[in-house]
Amino acid sequence: MWIATLCLAALPQSPHTEDLSRAAPERTIFWLQTTELAPVLDEGLDHPLVRRVLDHPLVREDLQAKGQHPEAALAFVEALIGESPLELAAALSRRGVGVGLLPGSETEPRAFVAMRGANLDSMEEAIDVIAAAAATFGGLEALPEAARKELGPRVRSAWSIDDDGAEAALSEDGTLFLAARHDDLREATTGSGRAIELRAARRALGQGSTFAWVDLDAFEETGALDELRQAVEEPATHFVFGPVVAYGTAAGSLAIGVEFGESGLTVRSLASGEVDEFGAATFPSEKGSAARLPLPSDDEVARAVLHRDVATLLAQRTSLFPPRSQPAISEGLANFALLVGGPDAVDELFASLEPEIVLLAEHVPFEAKAVPDIELPAACIVARLRNPEVNGPRVVGAFQSLIALQNVQRAQEGKPGLVLGLAPLEGTTMTTAHLPPPSEGDGVDLAYNVAPGCAVVGDSVVLATHHALASRVATRIARGETGAASGGAVDQLWMRADAVEALVAENRDLIELQSVLEDGKTEARARMEVDLLLELLGSIGTIEMTTSGGSGSPLEARLRIEWAQ
Amino acid sequence: MTKAEWDAAAAAHVLGRVGFGADRERVARAVDEGFEATLAEVESRRAHPRALTSKSVERLVSLGELEPLRARWMALILADGAPLVERASLMWHGHFATSNAKVDDVRLMHRQNELFRSAGLGDFRTLLHAVAKDPAMLVWLDGDRNRVGAPNENFAREVMELFALGVGAGYTEQDIAEAARAFTGWSVTKRRFVDRTEYHDRGEKTLFGRGGVQRGEDAIDRVLEHPECPRWIARRLLVTFVEPEPNRAEIDRWSRVLVSEDWHVGRTLARIFRDERFLDPEVRRNRISGPVETIARTALATGASVAPADAARAAVEMGQALFEPPTVKGWDGGRAWIDTGTWLARHNHLARFALEGPFDPVRAFGDVPRSEIARAVGELLLPDGVDADLAAALERAAREASTSDDAARAATALALTAPEFHLA
Amino acid sequence: MTHPPLSRRSFLVGGVRLTAIGALAPMAVAAPIARRAEVDRILVVLQLSGGNDGLNTVVPHGQDAYYRARPTLAQDAGSIHRIDEHVGLHSALGGLSELYAEGSVALVHGVGHPAADRSHFRSMEIWHTAEPFAPAGRVGWLGHLADQLSAREAGSLPALSVGGSGSLLSMRGATAVPPAVPSGDGFRLAEAPAAVARERAKLVQARGDDGDLAFLRAAARSAYDAADRMGAITRESSSVEYPDHALARELRLVSQLVRGGFGTRIFHLELGGFDTHASQSAVHADLLGRLDGALTAFQRDLEASGDADRVVTLVFSEFGRRVQENGSRGTDHGRGNPMLVVGSSARGGQHGQRPDLGALVEGDVAATTDFRGIYRQLERDWMGLEPLSASKVEAPRVI
């Protein structure tokens, strides 16, 4: 096997596609490599992003408080070694830098570093500078010949770094390896099975400039992932986060690739491992089963199309979820049965539910008398039913019963009940509920954001936290103003950063006040932090998240951030 | 006031009694500026940070949660923008002790709190009338359940027993029943006071042996005319600002001042502060300081920026949950502040504050040489002086630390958890 | 207390089964119990907040009216733990039903007070102050006991609220308010450098000052001492396995403090969440399961350490719930409710009148036993102290 690795490694590669991951030692449990560092180091503190960060009042305040002065620190090091430390670092990482973690002896993991310069000459030059600086502390000591030979024919020089066994080696392709142990170094320079695994993962991701990989199984042994590992057994993970996330938490390893581009940033993550047959049934069975999606409006904040096969999840519940979860599910179903008119009705209703569910968030106009002090966008869920004439009324009935139930509770607490209403809508009727108008002159509580509406239009159930949105969406569906979501994905989620930015901007006084009260920040500091958040959101156009996989293909989550135009 | 008596200890006393305390530089400036200038400044400071009084506070209240409300009050106290206003608000909160445990509506609690803030230093008669119609109070003492034919005496009883006259001070059970009849019909609808005349008992009521009382307002006026009323209020002011157990002569003297100042709380306090007794060493550090006060003066003396929400939570652990006083009597105060649980809460909060919290020794004491740290800690936190044992203990704690930062922290932890610090 | 109290040891020697003493009960009616010296006896009060549904706790399976009134909530007669042909315990109360069979549970039916009030706040106030008529007293019945104990031994910790807040009205005395112990963990002292800890210990020693300063020094001293002792006591593990939830942790702490001789005689604990207006069945079963698991483990723990005869646990709730279930598969605030007194010194069995669902008061189970009559037995006969309420209402004997 390792001969194959050597052969692969020996193949000539262009500087940009050349893969540092082949340097990973055998027991690597975490790996991170990037070629993005050198360009930043080249410009040093004058890099526009670095400059912007350092000049930010928040950062300046922090650095000042800690008594740190980056410029002075760099100048100090430069005086010491006779060369700019940033330039030196850039030279060392011209073709990339990789960092690995290996299980350490005790609690601390062992680190491993690989740096690749432009070529052997430039690396040797840089190492000479370091060696000269190190001379004042005793210098670098070359490894004995026998030890160096163990590192394979491609290693030109090797040094012992400290008394604890750390070593460094320079290979003929201009890669500098730093390892805490001789064995790690040998595996890195002569090849390991782990390196092959990593390269395969990296290829699957499509060779972005930055790549990370984590061995979840290894971390599981440390107990650090207990909660994550239990998530796949939690019904909530499946119903809320969907099948890809649920089974992703059970993956053996996770590979992550980041691609920076002019127009945006893409992060892809691939999970290894298989989904069992019960779980597989909760993924979309055929690709391209497109959901009907109401067309977006200007008030839109976010939208999502999610694959939640509720009927299958419930039908398979005894296989999918552990016994401890069963009573809660049964209780939930029994309660729901009370709302829709019996257990049979529940079964029929869920069986008729299309697994593609659409979620929307939009700004809605509130009635002048009941504009909440903290105005939140309304959220709407759209689901399609296979047998709407029977199941539609069941949903509406359940909605009405739920409101009635709320009112029983509210009455016990001495609070006014929600007012139920009916409104005609595109040939159907929408059921609405709202709190009685707030008293004049008072502020309007957060609760006034909830004034739900529910309607069945054709085969679509529309349920929204605010009836204005329910009505808007139902109208669009009734008039056929719909498009189709692109197929192939399990879940898709879009978010408009400017809408989130507007939300933060509208509520910034409250966000700042909370950070003054909760974190003890000064008003000025809280204001700067919100400014920074707004600046960040302002630089983003849209955020899109997609998950895919199942039925044979690997589980993938993809995040795409488009910069603002 | 002779100049000799006006020293750092006296200045710290004024700044810590009228307000919640002050840092090293403020105390030093007060010593320079003199008693009257110092007092006038702390009495009249009315500069709450804008963020804590702006419209966003209404939005904070609209979240419907008690914790942010508590944190906001704590923030007003810690910001030290209007110290006397907040001291008075805290006093009236304890006096009219309304708890959200029953009211269950933070908006009403907030409104009552703002009432204390705006009217707490004005005419007590106006305040009592306003509190009687305050929706939180009406819910708290069942005013909203008090109807003709089915009177609820809860509010009428407490007006006499706790708010205006004092336990058994010149009234009878019959007076309570009559007053309750006068208050019938006062209720709350949609968070507003309403006078539901259909539930009002229209018969004439006799209070303290005199007829002529019809409505709730008449009953309040009659209670305010009772000779015990100014005494009870004067007593409350003295207990809060001067001494835990004022004698009868002092109470009488100040009740006359209260009446002569037209029941104006702020003006009466101004005279109390300028009275000879206020600076008497006998009344300094003569009371066990309450949790909110302890937390605030620790933060203000050291100049540390404490997160208000953390401070409010610490106060809850120490036994003072703002907006949730334990009974209609409010917090008993004094020795009732201290039990095993609350002492450990004080100790743990203050020790952590000094050893690992937001406390910054350089900000608190300036750049003092290590050998001077123990002395500086004593001067700042226990300005009336420390006895030889405590001074030696501070020295030892500072000396055994490894760095001067550690030394200052150790000595501060020791000073803050010393029983002496909890007298203020 | 005319009989000389028998020493604790005399009953442990020879491993005499302590509940056998119950046979002596008839003799003890006139003169209150003398099984353990009163100064050794401990009262644990467990408050079920929100209004526990008594009819689904002690199920009247013998009455058809119960099944008619509760079409969805009624407990199946086959799944409950039958006590007799009339009543049985909820299916989640397996441990308590065993304790009942062993004679360690006194079950009092229809407990309440004459001035029923459906407000949680008011109703709790009445239970806490043992005063149904006059408004809001300021001294609670347990606080009153603590006052008397404190008067005997200043600086002691006669009562503790475990896990809850320190501001419970029932625990407020005229002079002392018993402290609250943080849940499970007990009193703990924040870490400090050795020099600070050493100097702190010296500073709180009595130094001849008086007034508040002396008081503070003494209070601090006993607080540090309590933290030390509690730390040492809680390092000892229990032989009995407790479930993993807050109430169980709190009761384990109580058992450790009892066993370790901490000196506290009154413990107050709370289990909330009983205000089940809607979809109550799973929630209520879960709460009863917690109660059962924690209380059974506690009792077994006390039995194992030989302390079972000196501890009684009173379990109460501010009111029961209406007989008729509401439209949302829950129940609304009611009146009379069963009360439990658990311990090997309790007079095991049923007491008072079983609820008669054919004779309801405004749709509620009638309150046929005044809770003050039970309090009185615990205050006077068990703890040997003066009761708070002067009313000498009658109630069946439970200890």
User: A520–B104: do the CB atoms touch at under 8 Å?
Assistant: no
Per-residue pLDDT band at C81 (split at 50, 70, 90)? very high
* Contacts of C among chains (3+ CB pairs under 8 A): A, B
Task: Supply the DSSP symbol for B263.
Answer: T
User: A331–C326: do the CB atoms touch at under 8 Å?
Assistant: no
CA–CA separation, A287 and A296 (whole Å) = 24
Judged by phi (left if over 0) then psi (alpha if -120 to 50, else beta), residue B268 lies in alpha
> Within 13 Å and on the Cβ side, how many CA atoms surround C16?
14
CA distance A415 to chain C (A): 14
Per-residue pLDDT band at C237 (split at 50, 70, 90)? confident
DSSP H helices in B50-134 = 55-61, 66-79, 83-95, 100-103, 106-119, 124-132
Residue keyed to tokens 């049979």 = A344
CA–CA separation, C256 and C263 (whole Å) = 11
CA distance B270 to chain C (A): 28
CA–CA separation, C9 and A371 (whole Å) = 72
Count contacts between A and B (CB, < 8 Å).
73
Instruction: Find the CB nearest A439 among B55, B192, B306.
Output: B192
Residues sharing a CB contact under 8 Å with residue A87, sequence separation 6 or more, in sequence order: A41, A42, A44
Q: How confident is the model at residue A279, as a pLDDT?
A: 84
User: B57–A522: do the CB atoms touch at under 8 Å?
Assistant: no
* Average pLDDT of the residues in C25-43: 57
Residues of B in contact with A522 (CB under 8 A): 305
User: B327–C196: do the CB atoms touch at under 8 Å?
Assistant: no
Q: How confident is the model at residue C165, as a pLDDT?
A: 63
Q: Is the pLDDT of residue C20 over 50?
A: no
Q: Is the pLDDT of residue B33 over 80?
A: yes
Residues sharing a CB contact under 8 Å with residue A367, sequence separation 6 or more, in sequence order: A437
Per-residue burial over B206-220, b if 16 or more Cβ lie within 10 Å, else e, is ebbeeeebbbbbebb
Give the rounded percent of residues in chain C with a pLDDT score beyond 90: 59
User: B414–C196: do the CB atoms touch at under 8 Å?
Assistant: yes
Residues of A in contact with B54 (CB under 8 A): 509
A405 touches chain C (CB under 8 A): yes
User: C121, C123, C277, C286: best mutation site toward chain A, by most A Cβ within 10 Å?
Assistant: C277
Beginning with the edge strand found earlier in the chain, give each strand of the sheet holding C88-89 in spatial order. Answer: C58-59, C88-89, C81-82
User: A517, A522, A527, A529: best mutation site toward chain B, by most B Cβ within 10 Å?
Assistant: A517
Q: What is the pLDDT of residues C116-135, one digit of tens each?
A: 777 788 888 899 999 888 76
DSSP H helices in chain C = 8-12, 25-28, 64-69, 94-101, 120-129, 141-152, 194-203, 211-235, 246-259, 280-305, 371-376
Residue pair C188/C227 in contact (Cβ under 8 Å)? The answer is yes
User: A408, A410, A413, A415: best mutation site toward chain C, by most C Cβ within 10 Å?
Assistant: A408
CA–CA separation, B349 and B346 (whole Å) = 5
CB neighbourhood size of C248 (10 A): 21
Q: How confident is the model at residue A483, as a pLDDT?
A: 84
Q: How confident is the model at residue A297, as a pLDDT?
A: 85
Q: Residue A547 in 3-state DSSP? A: strand
Q: Is the pLDDT of residue B3 over 60?
A: no
Tokens encoding B64: 């419907």
User: A405, A406, A409: best mutation site toward chain C, by most C Cβ within 10 Å?
Assistant: A405
User: B307–A520: do the CB atoms touch at under 8 Å?
Assistant: yes
Residues of B in contact with C176 (CB under 8 A): 339
Q: What is the pLDDT of residues B52-77, one digit of tens each?
A: 998 899 999 999 999 999 999 999 99
Q: Is the pLDDT of residue B232 over 90?
A: yes
Q: How confident is the model at residue C362, as a pLDDT?
A: 85
Minimum CA–CA partner of A521 in chain B = B307
Minimum CA–CA partner of B139 in chain C = C121
C282 touches chain A (CB under 8 A): yes
Q: How confident is the model at residue B9, as a pLDDT?
A: 95
Instruction: Find the CB nearest C179 among B101, B339, B410.
Output: B339
A262 touches chain B (CB under 8 A): no
CA distance A543 to chain B (A): 29
Q: What is the pLDDT of residues B4-13, one digit of tens each?
A: 489 999 999 9
User: C213–B351: do the CB atoms touch at under 8 Å?
Assistant: no
CA–CA separation, C59 and A499 (whole Å) = 56
Q: How confident is the model at residue C326, as a pLDDT?
A: 80
CA–CA separation, A260 and B372 (whole Å) = 57
CA distance B346 to chain A (A): 20
Residues of B in contact with A510 (CB under 8 A): 56, 59-60
Mean pLDDT by 10 residues, chain A (565 residues): 38 53 92 92 86 86 84 87 88 93 81 93 90 78 91 92 89 93 93 90 87 90 81 90 91 92 92 84 71 83 93 90 85 84 89 92 91 93 92 92 85 82 90 89 88 94 96 93 81 92 93 94 92 93 92 88 91
pTM for the full predicted model: 0.84
What type of residue sits at position B49?
P
Per-residue pLDDT band at C166 (split at 50, 70, 90)? low
B422 touches chain C (CB under 8 A): yes
C183 touches chain B (CB under 8 A): no
CA–CA separation, C279 and C281 (whole Å) = 6
Q: Is the pLDDT of residue C176 over 80?
A: no
User: B68–A517: do the CB atoms touch at under 8 Å?
Assistant: yes
Q: How confident is the model at residue B403, as a pLDDT?
A: 93
CA distance C226 to chain A (A): 32
Q: How confident is the model at residue A111, as a pLDDT?
A: 93
Instruction: Find the CB nearest A446 among B63, B192, B305.
Output: B63
What DSSP letter does each residue of A8-36 carry, written as one string? HHHS---TTT--GGGG--TT--EEEEESS
User: C166–B342: do the CB atoms touch at under 8 Å?
Assistant: yes
Which region among A182-196, B250-264, C171-185, C360-374 has the lowest average model confidence (pLDDT)? Answer: C171-185
Nearest to B380 by CA among B423, B412, B403, B419: B412
Instruction: Find the CB nearest B305 among A442, A518, A520.
Output: A520
